Structures are given as structure tokens and as C-alpha cells.
Structure 1
Amino acid sequence: MFAGASRGLALVASLLVLAGCGGGGSSSAFTGITHAPYSVSDVALQDTDGTSYALTEADKPLTLVFFGYTHCDDYCPLVMNNLSVALSRLSKADREDVDLVFVTSDPARDTGPVLRKYLDRYGSGFVGLTGELDDIVAVARSLAVSVDDGTKLPDGGYDLTSHSTTITALGPDHTSTVLWDMETSSAEFAADFTAILHGKAPLS
């Protein structure tokens, strides 16, 4: 009788393990947060080559926008790593339909070359944008993202007391109805990106 009970417990444990490893459940749910439409500002910033770039020029089916800064040592690396891994999970065709744009909230220190070096640590082809702080704030505000200029530091940068850690999805019409928070995993990002690209989730 004891042996039978042991076999029964082992079977239940095996089923639980299989359920945990399966592809259903939370991995099939849409993690992104839907909201009223935001139309991105057409204020131009500068990419890492110094070329004028407005987010209204984004031409991919899905453009991901994240505001952060290179001196951030906690949230920004977490988000960037999860986004990078998520994009690596996509098929080649889907990956070509996605742009990732990192907009600095600390333009005094995040010059084009600094941004390029930072982004290349996470992957190739990511767009980095900098510019005047007032312009960056205007673009951020159009997407309901908060950028606080904080306190100026001796080296010319800013101690940014707060900045939103959300990731915004822009559609080809340069409007967003989806965002993610910083706790979204790479697997959840990848599943949501795939759903959006294949018309199984709303974007705009």
C-alpha cells in the first residue's frame, strides 16, 4: 500500500513538472497593458550618428520605445536585457519587423557615441536617440512617459530622481495603445511581440 501511494505521488509530481514546462498557461496570455491611444510627438531628436530622427519616421510594423539612461545601474539594464533576449526569440522574419528605440533621459552625458557603445552591448541595430532635454521631455510626454530632469551633477549630468520604466509599442501609424512594465519577462515580451505582429493582439 505504501509503494502504491509513493507511485501515485510520483505520478502527480511528474504531471506538475510537465504542466510547468508546457507551452500553455501564462505564456499564451497577452501581458501588455492596453490604454487609450497615444500619438507620438513629431519633435525631432538625433540618432547616434547625429542624424535628425523623429519617432514619426519609424516605419516598422512594431517599434518599441524605452526611455532610460546609460548610467542607470538597475532598471534600465534589466529592461534592456529582457528586450534583447525577447527579440532573439523571434523568427528572422518577425525580428526584421521590429525596431527598438532607446531614448536617453540624460542627454548631457549620453552623447551619440556613448549611446552607441551602450546599445551595442545588448545587440545590433538598436536605435539610440538623444537631443535637448526639453525636446526629449516633449516626446516622452506625448507617450505618457515621465522624464524628470532631477538635480544637475558636477560632471554636467543629472541625478534623475524618477523616470518611467514602461516600454511603449508604436504601430506604423505612430500611435500606441499598448505598453509593458519593467517586470515583463523576455518570454512574455516575445509572446506579445509575436501576437502583435501576427494580428492576434491589438496595437493601434
Structure 2
Amino acid sequence: MATLALGGCGDDAKQPFSGQVLDNPYKVPATELVDTDGKPFSLADDTDKRLTLVFFGYVNCKDICPAVLSHLASAMTRLDDADRKQVDVVLVTSDPNTDTPASLRAYLDRFDSSFIGLDADFATIKAVGLDLAVGIDERDPGGHTTQVLGVDSANEAPVYWDADTTPVQFANDIHTLLED
């Protein structure tokens, strides 16, 4: 995926690539979390699409989380059907002491009913976050990193975007990453 991303950054690209390509991609752990249906879900084992966008956030977030999720939802509407079928969006709660699978599902449905919500105990979420360079503090769930990670089919996260990425930038980058 990193090669694809870099390949789309040349002069012939319609827009420059907005994400940050990592020289050393993060390895996605196979740690088991729980989805909003109460079923086990692993970011490594259960993300079958070519690209999974992963964001750590929480239901009671008043600013960054709804903005990022809104941008991701808008970006998904800008993709053609072929691209859209190859992408999942996942929210991992950074506040498992407050968020529940039901509250995550209701929250995500406000943006896009296909978005996946994941929960677990705090220690598990913190460990998964640390593997992906996302620091989470139990005393301050809003202190989580605001990046969106792009996870590929090799269970690596070779690219990330910051909270200021626009829907158009997300859509352009997603299309670029999915190009053969």
C-alpha cells in the first residue's frame, strides 16, 4: 500500500496525496476486541477489505471525534461503488468505561450505519493503541491521538491522516490507495 500511495503522489495525480506514508508501517495486532453486536473482532483477523480506516475516539467527544467521523462519512459518499466496497471504517472506543456496544452503534449510525464500532476493557484497548502509536489515557479519553490509520490487507498500517484531513482529501487518497 505504501508503494501505491507513493505512486499516486507524482505530477500526474489529480490532487497530492494528503496522508502521511510511514517508512516503517505499524503492525496491526490480532488482539480480540468486541464489535457492537457483541461478537469478537480483531483489527488484524477480521478486516478483510483492501483498506480499513481505523480511528480511536469516543461517544461523548464534542469536537474532534464527530468532525473526523463526519469527514470519513462524507469521503465514503464521494467514492464510486467499486472503491466503497473495498473499504471499512472502524471506531475503537478510547473510553470503554463509559461507551458500550449499544452507545457506540447509536453514535456511529448518526454518521454511517456501515461503520464498525469496537469495545473492550481499557487495558486491551490501550495495548492495541500502543501497537498503533495511539496513546490513550484512562483519566482523559479525549487525550487520544486524533489520527486515522489506514490498515491494508497485509495487516499493516503504512499510512495515517490527521484530524484536519478534508472529505475530498480522504476520498482522493482512498482512491489512490485502491488503484492497481
TM-score by length of 2: 0.90
Tell me if 1:100 matches 2:89: yes
Which residue number in structure 1 is paired with residue 15 of structure 2? Answer: 28
Residue of structure 2 aligned with 1:148, choices 107, 114, 137: 137
Amino acid aligned to 1:60: K
Any unmatched runs of 5+ in structure 1? 1-23, 151-158, 200-204
Higher relative contact order (CA 8 A, sep 6+): 2
Amino acid aligned to 1:91: D
Does the CA-based 8 Å contact 1:103-1:130 persist in structure 2?
A: yes
Bigger proportion of residues as helix = 1
Amino acid aligned to 1:106: D
Rounded to whole Å, the distance in 1 between the matches of 2:173 and 2:107 is: 25
Rounded to whole Å, the distance in 1 between the matches of 2:133 and 2:76 is: 24
Which residue number in structure 2 is paired with residue 194 of structure 1? Answer: 175
What are the equivalent positions in structure 2 for 1:9-48 lying under 5 Å apart? 28-35=15-22, 36-48=24-36
Rounded to whole Å, the distance in 2 between the matches of 1:73 and 1:27 is: 34
Residue of structure 2 aligned with 1:82, choices 56, 61, 71: 71
Per-residue deviation, residues 143-190 of structure 1 (Å, max 9, x unmatched):
11111111xxxxxxxx43511000000000110110000000000000
Does the CA-based 8 Å contact 2:57-2:142 persist in structure 1?
A: no
Does the CA-based 8 Å contact 2:56-2:92 persist in structure 1?
A: yes
Q: Which entry has the higher C-alpha Rg, 1 or 2?
A: 1
Rounded to whole Å, the distance in 1 between the matches of 2:152 and 2:73 is: 19
Rounded to whole Å, the distance in 2 between the matches of 1:147 and 1:27 is: 36
Which residue number in structure 1 is paired with residue 102 of structure 2? Answer: 113
Q: Taking structure 1 as reference, are residues 160 and 195 closer, same or farther at Cα in structure 2, changes over 3 Å only?
A: same
User: Could you tell me the percent identity over the aligned residues?
Assistant: 42
Which residue number in structure 2 is paired with residue 54 of structure 1? Answer: 42
Q: Kindly report the root-mean-square deviation, in angstroms, between the aligned alpha carbons of the 2 structures.
A: 1.6
Per-residue deviation, residues 23-67 of structure 1 (Å, max 9, x unmatched):
x99961000001121101111010001101110121100000000
Rounded to whole Å, the distance in 2 between the matches of 1:75 and 1:25 is: 33
Rounded to whole Å, the distance in 2 between the matches of 1:27 and 1:184 is: 17
Amino acid aligned to 1:194: H
Rounded to whole Å, the distance in 2 between the matches of 1:161 and 1:129 is: 17
Rounded to whole Å, the distance in 2 between the matches of 1:147 and 1:43 is: 16
Amino acid aligned to 1:97: Q
Tell me if 1:70 matches 2:51: no
Amino acid aligned to 1:55: L
Residue of structure 2 aligned with 1:127, choices 109, 116, 125: 116
Q: What is the DSSP-based 3-state SS (H/G/I as helix, E as strand, rest coil) of the residue aligned with 1:56?
A: coil
Which residue number in structure 2 is paired with residue 182 of structure 1? Answer: 163
Structure 1 moving runs of 4+ over 4 Å: 24-27
| Count of matched residue positions in the alignment of Structure 1 and Structure 2 | 168
Does the CA-based 8 Å contact 1:47-1:128 persist in structure 2?
A: yes
